Structure 1
Amino acid sequence: MGDIQKLTIDGKNYVLLSEEDYEDLVDGLRADAIMARVAAGEETWPLEFVRELTETDSRIRTFRNYRRMTVSELAEAAGISQPYLSEIETGKKTGSVDVLKRIAAALKVDLDDLVVD
């Protein structure tokens, strides 16, 4: 960290630091907030998995494989038939919002993680 100057203007105390030092300080605070969320149990995903999510034709299948679930296990957890889940995964059917919410819950992800605009 470079030079830091303390100033008093109109009776208020201020600290003057370089823009680079300010950005480093903000980055550190953001990193601390992220680490606190991770320490509190928020899930993180490996970079390779995130890349796969951006390239896949079926985010449901990608999450299912990541969770090491079979089609039958996910279908049962979501309360739908295995053939119906297969059709959703292959894009033959879209699935209702209710069904997609149940699939997301079974995969322990947000609905937004499954649906891409």
Structure 2
Amino acid sequence: MPDVMPLVTAVDQLADRLRSLPQSRLRQGAAAHGLDLARELSARAQRLEFPDREPRSVPDEGLFVVADQVAVTGRDLAEAMRTASAHEVAEAVKLVEEAARRCEGTG
């Protein structure tokens, strides 16, 4: 069983950062980047859990919900990855870290 804590930590840090951003930064693209990430994390988790089913998309519920969407979908993926390889977990961490850089680069 791979260690998924680096993924949980990266997701929690990004979600906390998104929660702390002012509305102007969220509107300038940080929320969109967060939503893109939440959708990708969710799709990855669903593909692991239900490989024969088309993943459902995370809805756009607005600027102030995206941090929670990142947190929930990231933790869902971490749980689904308990049977994945360490390499797959590392790739997911990299995905979250890249999204965090994109969120910081907005504005």
TM-score, normalised relative to structure 1 = 0.29
Indicate the structure (1 or 2) with the bigger Cα radius of gyration. Answer: 1
TM-score, normalised relative to structure 2 = 0.31
Higher RCO (Cα < 8 Å, 6 or more apart): 2
| Structure having the larger proportion of residues in strand | 1
